[in-house]
Chains A and B, each alone.
Chain A
């Protein structure tokens, strides 16, 4: 596909109402957070991976469907996906502009690039669990726990994409981590590779650092540390995957 050309999204039939997410406000909020965090555009920023779509229809009949990592709009009135691809050359710049321009315009990652397909496969099982985590109400653990915010989930995804990028770049097998909520509203990610383990806690507050725990030596050696941003995870992944 030529850079700058448009991705055609085939109209698809809606088969069942059960396909639609029950909590689309949270899901849409999360996707907005992910896009605002510029994850999709920064990490997957080849033009082939981005569709700018303008939804045509009455606002009252809008529905949203989450497909792995894409957000799609559907018109309930005629049960088909409706996209109008803008008649302008697509660039990352105008994709961002289009996203910011109004509620009826969305940036939608698609699945054309093999790397994006791999990323989608990597994130999908985690994404299923993160959606469950994001739906937890207050006091979900019966010990007065905080709910997990879409922003914390977005930060989690951002870190996971960093991990994917490194594993992809170095040609390592992608290890699906275990993801769990913490009572204080943070999210914990855990990897086990051989006899080494890495635990990462994504805090719920922007003022707190990401904390890490390395476990080695048959589960008897522990090293705690903190990082400021997901990009700094590479040193710890090197320890986990290479050393």
Chain B
């Protein structure tokens, strides 16, 4: 995959992937705990709420790559517009080993985390890449 020289602009329609730990999967959905990211140390005493949340930009990676990077994890898919409507900022923050990495920046309250969790679509590796079994005659 070819990459541009600098950070890329994220559009409203961009899909964002968030890795979902197995303990965050609830009734085939996602608990809001998955979106209550820890704040930086210097803000820890001020607020438990997040100021940044790591995601991957869907068009810069592949679902298979994300799902296979952490066996047993799921992936939550959220559109960038959902975060933007919550007055959060989304920006591309490529890392040496992950060009697709992006940051959702801003204070995520418990209410916002709950809304994000309900809007996210959970995908598991087995659902997406399960082998097609030959039909019995």
Contacts and interface: CB of A to CB of B under 8 A. Distances in A.
A182 B110 CA distance: 12
A213 B38 CA distance: 18
Most buried by A among B24, B26, B37, B110: B110
Contacts of A175: none
Interface in B20-77: 21, 23-24, 26, 31-34, 36-39, 44-45, 48, 54, 70, 73
Contacts of B87: none
A141 interface: yes
Contact of A199 (B19, B21, B32, B45): B32
Contact of B33 (A143, A181, A205, A215): A181
A184 B26 contact: no
B92 interface: no
Nearest to B109: A224
Contact of B37 (A143, A180, A208, A211): A143
A141 B114 contact: no
Contact of A215 (B26, B73, B109, B114): B114
B5 interface: no
Nearest to A208: B48
Contacts of B85: none
Contacts of A180: 23-24, 26, 31, 33-34
B130 interface: no
B111 interface: yes
Interface in A115-150: 129, 132-133, 136, 140-146
**Interface size classification for chain B:** 20 to 34
B23 A188 contact: no
Contacts of B21: 140-142, 181
Interface residues of A, number: 33
Given A180-B31, A224-B111, A188 B38 contact: no
Contacts of A145: 38
A141 B36 contact: no
A183 B48 contact: no
B114 A132 contact: no
Contacts of B34: 180
A185 B26 CA distance: 19
A53 interface: no
Contacts of A54: none
Contacts of A203: 48
Contacts of A165: none
20 contacts: A133-B23, A141-B19, A141-B24, A142-B73, A143-B37, A144-B38, A146-B38, A182-B36, A183-B37, A199-B110, A203-B48, A207-B45, A208-B48, A213-B32, A213-B110, A213-B111, A215-B114, A219-B118, A222-B111, A222-B114
Interface of B: 19, 21, 23-24, 26, 31-34, 36-39, 44-45, 48, 54, 70, 73, 109-111, 114, 118
**What 6 A-B pairs have minimum CB-CB distances, sorted nearest first?**
A184-B38, A180-B33, A222-B111, A188-B33, A213-B110, A180-B31
